[in-house]
Amino acid sequence: MSDSTPSSPHSGETPLLQTIGLTKRYGSFLANDAIDIDIRPKEIHALLGENGAGKSTLVKTIYGLIQPSEGEMLWEGQKMVLSGPSEARARGIGMVFQHFSLFDNLTVAENVALGLDGKESFKDMSARLEQVSHVYGLPLDPRREVWQLSVGERQRIEIVRALMQNPKFLILDEPTAVLTPQEADQLFIVLERLKEEGRAILYISHKLEEVKRLCDTATILRGGKKVATCNPKAETAASLARMMVGTEIKEVKAAAARKITVPRLVVNELSLEPDDPHGVRLQNISLELRGGEILGIAGVAGNGQDEFFAALSGERRAKDPGTIVIEGIAAGHLSITQRRKLGAAFVPEERLGHGTAPRMKLSENALLTGHAASGMVKHGFVDTAATLSTVDRATETFDVRKAKRDPEAASLSGGNLQKFVVGREILRNPAVLVVSQPTWGVDAGAAAVIRQALLDLAAGGAAVLVTSQDLDELAEITDRIAVMFHGHLSEALPTAEASREKLGLLMGGSSLDQKEATHAART
Amino acid sequence: MELVEAIILSVLAASTPLLIAATGELVTERSGVLNLGVEGMMIMGAACGFGAAWLSGSIIVGAICGMIAGTLMSLIFALMTLGLAVNQVATGLALTILGIGLSGLIGAGFVGERIAPAPHLYIPGLTGIPLVGRIVFGEDAFVYLSLALVVAVWWFLYRTRAGLILRACGDNHVSAHALGYPVLRIRLYAVMFGGACAGLAGAYLPLAYTPFFIPGMTAGRGWIALALTVFASWLPGRLVIGAYLFGAVTILQLHAQALGLGVPSQFMSSLPYLATVIVLVLLSRTRSGGSTAPAALGTVFVPDR
Amino acid sequence: MQLVLEKRAERSNTIALISPLIAIGMTIVTMSILFAILGKNPIAALGVYFIDPLTDSYSLQEIAVKATPLVMIAVGLSLCYLANAWNIGAEGQFLIGAVAGSWIAVKTQGTDAGAWVLPAMLLMGAIAGALYAMIPAICKVKFGASEILTSLMLVYVADLFLDYLVRGPWRDPHGFNFPTTAEFDPVATVPVLIEGGRLHLGAIIALLVVAAATVLLGRTIKGFEIRVVGAAPRAARFGGFNANQLILLTFAISGALAGLAGIIEVAGPVGHLQPGISPGYGFTAIIVAFLGRLNPIGILIAGLFLALTFIGGEQAQIAMKIPLDVTKVFQGILLFYVLACDSLILYRFRLISSTRQVA
């Protein structure tokens, strides 16, 4: 592993922040292992690593939320021990979290006030908030309540809140995870401006193209250790990925030219009002999915994917039975159990709490979706042997690692639980599989297993619908891709023709046809 | 006219314990905690408050002891639900059962005793004004205190930073914790405040409403106070309206009996409870946007370190 | 140094087994202190409460008689609580069941009605209890109203309704103006199991209820649905389980069991309808349900244990002049300790060295 010196033009300047041997231990688990990192002013420094590499732990330590087990931090050359985030903020360290700390039923001004230290009056703070937000091109109205705002607008609150404390050092954790490519561009302009003002920025991401574009330096973490520091502009995405992931990942094999058969899932002009005020209205969604095909749905989170999943699964029913057709049978009015009987299977985005009951055993969770049509229930009585056998088969076929034969769902790691959740559905030999964010929060090994399983299922003749925020994943396994935006589903493009730019435009609401772009903007 | 004045006075008196207890519970619930033990805390406030007043000869001592009793009871609740992450519903019920039993034990020694009830305000010239005089200028301290309490709580919640933080805890305890606020500690204070109010409200009954103590004299008022917070959509202003409405229903059934309406007395006595059910049904339908329950109400919070 | 609570990776089965014992132990210690404060000898008091009632046949039968309604109601409540539907109005459903069943007894009083009377009374009691419980259930399902508050308010209403009936239309004309109906005819009375004793058919029914509930929860898909809907509502929906239906179902079963317990109590040990036929069974059953960990066998044991304390409490009042309220205090404290110890099944304590200040 090379440890090339950062080639930013400021070598020799004292780093703004320096960590030396920073370590965090949870029991016997090392979340961070002797990490040395230097952050300099006027630099955008990337922190790269996959899920579970220790990025969050490191920045939480820098921000004072976590106490290190060993090692120390130097701020402007002086030793720094933080008792909490307010002390970090007092020193000039600001942080924008990936998961927003916002309060839906309070106003923008109240939310910002809660993130500040309350030294100025509410009125003054409110006025300054409006001013700062406009200066940086992130306009906010202090009086609106947060539940009314879009995800991009909510992020603005987080950023403006941090900027209002005039930080010397700003940490951003996966800031573009919830933005369209166009909103991300807007964010990059803001960050460049902050860099010009002399601040330092730590940019956590796993999106390699972005990092190459934006960042001057990159530190790469793997398994809790720092494995490299480099100049991302001098590297390729592939070399960065190798440093991040280390061992070669099994190449996902697409079956040679899968045979496409009859339509197995058809959606006809599906429109649905959301059942909660923060939800998205689905509008005239249509698609046709044939056996042997994998159709991907891209889109930034919060554009109707959850509502669409609920409509497909039957957790929400449509008035007109013909809007959803499964295996040739009108199913829009059917319950999820009835749809399972028709041969459909579903994997929701949230595996704990939605896909499984966290505190129940795997066999009980197998029964959760299996009771419909898998011979687990006879005359109202549960056949425990059948449920256990499903667990055993899923464990073996999908390599689920667990501490005992039938543990609670919550005790499995993310990747293993996801393998179980996907596995229990695939073992039912479904005709149609609808899966949402199949590898979110899952380690690379498990992700490969899951993607291969989806490909194999399609090769066997099933119709597979994959919703994902990961464009790389969709590019890898799908035949066609459509984009969800504000409850509309675009035409599906063949994956080979779906460039990043085209997808980005669709995800941002523009149309590929110039004439339609203005029309879309007006609706 | 005399009758109208008398009715309004009795409505105010009947509403006051509801208002005090509900205000305390409103603060508790705004912080995200559902404390069903209000009835138990109130009856303990009644028993201890009366006992202390009888022993010391002072209403003020009685009121303070009532508040302390309610606070101590709420501490047990806080220890269980905040310290041990126990289910709030079960704990609240246990608190009520314990409170009823304990108050019976404590109050047993005082049943049958009488004290001089809390004195009423008297301002020469003002209190004598026909119709409004006694209503505005002739109440006992508890009534004035209850209104001052509601105003103070409104000001606290909406005009102070501490109140904002408390509301934040009730809206999203995960965010509040991420921002570094001590959610459990804030909830503890809110629960204690609720307990003090419940204890004070309970003490009002034997100290001002009737000058003696009967076991179980709260007769479900604690539960009605809980319903009131729902009725008020967790807004202090609406709480006042709700409390006086319920007080009016309680008084109505007494007067209807006197009017000899020919309706069985038990039916009239059941009016406040039936009214509560109807109010809950009418007001619980989900609203869009604001004025809904604090989003984190009743959920368990165990912060990770 | 700070003591913090954190979630366990998986439930601790050892704690699950021993926690009721720890809770009972701690309660006994607390009660001893209470007895001492009251000026009574703690050892003697504990003896009268827990040991004496087990020593003679009459007391043992009384324990079973008292446990019968507790267990029946608590089993019904456990189904509701497992589904996260909080039926607090079992006391009211008990009373309404008693009233409804008594209606048949009162109407057929003195007539030469046949053996159909008792089964009809029991059926009426169960149906009336179920319907009364459906009121808060429907209020919750259709209107989103808190079932805790509505079911509780209806307790007061039921109590007042019963009071009205026995003081008014149903009052025994030869009863010297006491608020009570006439004694029920033999055909309207629950038969006794042991000649000359107090143990009656209700005990058998209670045991059958426990058995049925064990099978329902442990072996059937419906029982699974009930458990999932309470434990993970969104997962339950994903599984195709209808939460609203289950709330209505569990409330109906719970109301039926409470109502059945009510009419059995009236037509059995008491023999006529009067105010105060329930010394708070509906509320004590809540404690029994939690003490029994919402598990039918556990509830059977807990019900017997609490019945023991009721009998013990009565005897302690006579023998040592200990007030009856002490029994309530004991039950409340026991529930607290059980809940506290049970929390350790899912969580544990850890000492951490770092402190975190307010931001």
Select from B112, B137, B117, B140 the least CA-distant residue to B127: B137
Amino acid at the residue B277? V
Of A119-128, A276-285, A381-390, which range is least confident? A276-285
Smallest CA–CA distance from C87 into chain B, residue:
B89
Which residues make Cβ contacts (< 8 Å) with residue A242, sequence separation at least 6? none
Q: What is the separation of C-alpha C97 from the centre of its chain, rounded to a whole number of angstroms? A: 14
The C-alpha atoms of residue C346 and residue A109 are separated, in whole angstroms, by: 39
Residue A509: pLDDT above 50? Answer: yes
DSSP H helices, chain B, are 2-30, 38-56, 59-78, 88-108, 133-137, 141-159, 161-171, 173-178, 183-204, 221-231, 236-258, 265-283
Judging contacts by C-beta atoms under 8 Å, the chain B residues touching residue A147 are: 289
Share of chain C above pLDDT 90, in %: 45
Please answer whether residues C302 and C291 qualify as being in contact, where contact means their C-beta atoms are separated by less than 8 angstroms: yes
Q: Which of A190-194, A438-442, C14-18, C172-176 has the highest mean pLDDT?
A: A190-194
The C-alpha atoms of residue C226 and residue C231 are separated, in whole angstroms, by: 9
For the stretch A296-331, pLDDT in tens is: 999 877 788 999 999 999 999 988 999 999 999 999
Which residues make Cβ contacts (< 8 Å) with residue B271, sequence separation at least 6? B249, B250, B252, B253
Q: What is the dihedral of CA B41, B46, B47, B51, to 10 degrees?
A: 140
Contact at CB, B180 and A104, closer than 8 angstroms: no
pLDDT of residue A477: 92
pLDDT of residue A216: 92
Contact at CB, C164 and B267, closer than 8 angstroms: yes
pLDDT of residue B204: 94
pLDDT of residue B129: 78
Residue of B165, B167, B179 lying closest to A101 (CB–CB): B179
Strand spans (E) along chain C:
2-7, 347-352
Of A6-15, A267-276, B202-211, C144-153, which range is least confident? A6-15
For the stretch B243-302, pLDDT in tens is: 998 888 888 877 776 766 667 878 888 888 888 888 888 877 654 333 467 777 777 777
The C-alpha atoms of residue A270 and residue A286 are separated, in whole angstroms, by: 7
For chain A, the residues whose C-beta falls within 8 A of a C-beta of chain B are 65, 84-86, 97, 99-106, 110, 113-115, 118, 122, 145, 147-148, 277
pLDDT of residue B165: 95
For the stretch A440-454, pLDDT in tens is: 888 878 888 999 999
pLDDT of residue A440: 85
Q: B43 to each of B145, B215, C90, C284, how far by Cα in Å? A: 20, 8, 22, 18
Please answer whether residues A66 and A132 qualify as being in contact, where contact means their C-beta atoms are separated by less than 8 angstroms: no
Q: Per DSSP, what are the bridge partners of residue A229?
A: A219
| Residue B288 buriedness (CB in 10 A; 0-12 / 13-18 / 19+) | exposed
Select from C188, C206, C180 the least CA-distant residue to C66: C206
Please answer whether residues C250 and C226 qualify as being in contact, where contact means their C-beta atoms are separated by less than 8 angstroms: yes
| Band (B1; pLDDT cuts 50, 70, 90) | low
Smallest CA–CA distance from C354 into chain B, residue:
B305
Higher pLDDT, residue A162 or A205: A162
pLDDT of residue C233: 92
Contact partners for chain B, using 3 or more CB pairs closer than 8 A, are A, C
For the stretch B183-203, pLDDT in tens is: 999 999 999 999 999 999 999
Select from A107, A82, A78 the least CA-distant residue to A93: A82
Residue of C234, C240, C354 lying closest to A337 (CB–CB): C240
pLDDT of residue C357: 39
Share of chain A above pLDDT 90, in %: 51
Please answer whether residues A255 and A455 qualify as being in contact, where contact means their C-beta atoms are separated by less than 8 angstroms: yes
> Which residues in chain B (263-302) have CB-CB distances under 8 A to chain A?
288-290, 292, 294-295
Judging contacts by C-beta atoms under 8 Å, the chain B residues touching residue A115 are: 179
Q: What does pLDDT average to over chain A?
A: 86
pLDDT of residue B145: 93
Residue of A336, A350, A359 lying closest to C240 (CB–CB): A336
Residue B108, chain C, CB below 8 Å: the answer is yes
| Band (A513; pLDDT cuts 50, 70, 90) | low
For the stretch C12-51, pLDDT in tens is: 778 888 888 888 899 999 999 988 888 888 888 888 888 8
Domains of chain A: 17-245 (3.40.50.300), 263-522 (3.40.50.300)
Select from B56, B97, B25, B61 the least CA-distant residue to B203: B61
Pairing of strands A169-173, A93-96: parallel
Q: Which two tokens mark A164?
A: 């209002």
Contact at CB, C359 and A86, closer than 8 angstroms: yes
| Band (A508; pLDDT cuts 50, 70, 90) | low
Judged by DSSP in three states, C144 sits in coil
Size of interface A-B (CB pairs under 8 A): 54
pLDDT of residue A512: 60
pLDDT of residue A517: 42
pLDDT of residue C115: 82
| Band (A514; pLDDT cuts 50, 70, 90) | very low
The sign of the torsion formed by the CA atoms of A218, A219, A222, A227 equals positive
Q: Is 0.90 topped by the overall pTM? A: no
Amino acid at the residue C333? I
For the stretch A341-375, pLDDT in tens is: 999 999 999 999 999 999 999 999 999 999 988 88
Judging contacts by C-beta atoms under 8 Å, the chain B residues touching residue C152 are: 220, 223
Q: What is the dihedral of CA C281, C283, C284, C287, to 10 degrees?
A: 150
- The tally of CA atoms less than 13 A away on the side-chain side of residue A94 is 22
Q: How much is the ipTM here?
A: 0.85
Q: What is the separation of C-alpha A493 from the centre of its chain, rounded to a whole number of angstroms? A: 23
Select from A3, A93, A88, A89 the least CA-distant residue to A39: A93
Residue of B165, B179, B295 lying closest to A104 (CB–CB): B295
Which residues make Cβ contacts (< 8 Å) with residue C205, sequence separation at least 6? C68, C72, C260, C264
Select from B181, B184, B142, B171 the least CA-distant residue to B290: B171
Smallest CA–CA distance from A384 into chain C, residue:
C219
Higher pLDDT, residue B89 or A315: A315
Which residues make Cβ contacts (< 8 Å) with residue A332, sequence separation at least 6? A270, A317, A318, A319, A320, A321, A322, A323, A324
Q: A226 to each of A294, C243, C255, how far by Cα in Å? A: 38, 49, 63
Residue A251: pLDDT above 80? Answer: no
Q: Which two tokens mark A466?
A: 């994959």
Mean pLDDT to the nearest integer, B104-129 = 82
For the stretch B146-157, pLDDT in tens is: 999 999 999 999
pLDDT of residue B268: 81
Contact at CB, A113 and B289, closer than 8 angstroms: no
- The tally of CA atoms less than 13 A away on the side-chain side of residue B265 is 8
The C-alpha atoms of residue A172 and residue A63 are separated, in whole angstroms, by: 11
Mean pLDDT to the nearest integer, A264-274 = 91
Smallest CA–CA distance from B303 into chain C, residue:
C6
Q: What does pLDDT average to over chain B?
A: 87
pLDDT of residue B141: 87
Higher pLDDT, residue C257 or A139: C257
Size of interface A-C (CB pairs under 8 A): 86
The C-alpha atoms of residue B229 and residue B284 are separated, in whole angstroms, by: 11
Q: What is the dihedral of CA B106, B107, B108, B112, to 10 degrees?
A: 160
Q: A466 to each of A451, B22, B300, how far by Cα in Å? A: 10, 50, 34
The distance of B209 to chain C (nearest Cα, Å) reads 22
Q: Per DSSP, what are the bridge partners of residue A202?
A: A45, A171
Judging contacts by C-beta atoms under 8 Å, the chain B residues touching residue A114 are: 164-165, 168, 176, 179, 181
Residue of B98, B273, B282 lying closest to C333 (CB–CB): B98
Contact partners for chain C, using 3 or more CB pairs closer than 8 A, are A, B
pLDDT of residue B291: 44
Contact at CB, C220 and A355, closer than 8 angstroms: no
Mean pLDDT to the nearest integer, C91-117 = 89
Neighbours of A181 (CB within 10 A): 18
For the stretch C183-198, pLDDT in tens is: 888 877 888 877 777 8
Judging contacts by C-beta atoms under 8 Å, the chain B residues touching residue A85 are: 179-180
Residue ranges per domain, chain B? Answer: 2-283
> Which residues in chain B (65-104) have CB-CB distances under 8 A to chain C?
76, 80, 83-87, 89-91, 93-95, 97-102, 104
Contact at CB, A103 and B175, closer than 8 angstroms: yes
Residue of A83, A381, A410 lying closest to C219 (CB–CB): A381
Contact at CB, C339 and B86, closer than 8 angstroms: yes
Mean pLDDT to the nearest integer, A72-97 = 89
Residue A518: pLDDT above 50? Answer: no
Contact at CB, A106 and B175, closer than 8 angstroms: no
Pairing of strands A217-222, A17-26: unpaired
CATH class of B2-283: mainly alpha
Q: Which helix (H) or strand (E) holds A289?
A: strand A282-290
- The tally of CA atoms less than 13 A away on the side-chain side of residue B297 is 19
The C-alpha atoms of residue B146 and residue A311 are separated, in whole angstroms, by: 51
Residue C338: pLDDT above 50? Answer: yes
pLDDT of residue A329: 93
Please answer whether residues C246 and C228 qualify as being in contact, where contact means their C-beta atoms are separated by less than 8 angstroms: no
Please answer whether residues A285 and A486 qualify as being in contact, where contact means their C-beta atoms are separated by less than 8 angstroms: no
Judging contacts by C-beta atoms under 8 Å, the chain C residues touching residue A373 are: none
pLDDT of residue C195: 72
Mean pLDDT to the nearest integer, A475-500 = 88
Residue A396: pLDDT above 90? Answer: yes
Neighbours of C198 (CB within 10 A): 18
Residue A12: pLDDT above 60? Answer: no
| Band (A522; pLDDT cuts 50, 70, 90) | very low
Mutation pick from B84, B103, B250 vs chain C, by most beta carbons of C within 10 Å, is B84
Residue of C152, C329, C336 lying closest to B223 (CB–CB): C152
Residue A204: pLDDT above 50? Answer: yes
pLDDT of residue C1: 66
Backbone angles phi, psi at A169, to 5 degrees: -140, 120
